[in-house]
Structure 1
Amino acid sequence: MFDSCTLPTAERPLRLAEFDELFSTAVREVDSVDDTHARLRLAGPDRLAATVRDLTRRESECCSFFVFTVTAEPGGTVLLDIEVPPRHADVLAALIGRSR
């Protein structure tokens, strides 16, 4: 497992913009379970779960310390659980800060 992000620096603003777009349009609730685990409840278009899975899959490919779990719920909501090792709690905190 890598300890850092391997996404090329030039692509990082684009990925961040994808998360910002998702957060600004779909986040309905944010729960910081603890320093290493957060849960977001999302709502949006029919393809929301597929969109979230695609984005989190690509993020996991370059930042393997993230563990994303995407759960589609009845009624069209999506739960996004995000977990990181303790040494990356600050990265999770920054991402959750952007989601609020």
Structure 2
Amino acid sequence: MTTDDQTWAPEACTLPSVQRPLRRAEFDDLFATALLEQQRLSPTHLRWRLDPAAETTARDLTDRESSCCSFFTYTITRVTGALRLDVQVPAARVDVLDALRQRAASTAS
């Protein structure tokens, strides 16, 4: 496991290691195809504005991610012209949110 793997999926994650690259690829695809903007609202709160066409994908992905990494709280809200996805973590998991923000920034089109 690389350092990136450890930051991206800490020990609290119950997703089997073999499935983690696939999950990262799903997030990468969401970022590349649907991410319009991201804002860091606080150290523990990240907000993404997504293309509304990605709603089904975003809901499915965040539901599955919540089931293996229960420290994430995802809230999806439809707003005019976009989909707002809020991601929150406890203070002890800020490093994971940092890694997710960096991944989104480097992958978004």
User: Structures share a fold, TM > 0.5?
Assistant: yes
User: Is residue 64 of structure 2 the alignment partner of residue 72 of structure 1?
Assistant: no
Unaligned runs of 5+ in 1: none
Q: CA deviation at 1:44?
A: 5.0
Q: Equivalent residue for 2:34?
A: 26
Task: For structure 2, list consecutive stretches of 5 or more residues without a partner in the other structure.
Answer: 1-10
Preserved contact between residue 84 and residue 92 of structure 1 (Cα < 8 Å): yes
Q: Give structure 1 regions of 4+ aligned residues with deviation exceeding 2 angstroms.
A: none
Report the Cα offset of residue 87 of structure 1. 0.3
Pick aligned residue for 1:5 from 3, 13, 33: 13
Matched-pair contact (CA < 8 Å) for 1:31–1:38? yes
Amino-acid identity (%): 51
CA drift at 1:90: 0.3
**Residue in structure 1 matching 2:49, options 38, 41, 45:** 41
Question: Residues of 1 paired with 2:98 and 2:37: CA distance?
Answer: 15
Give the helix-richer structure, 1 or 2.
2
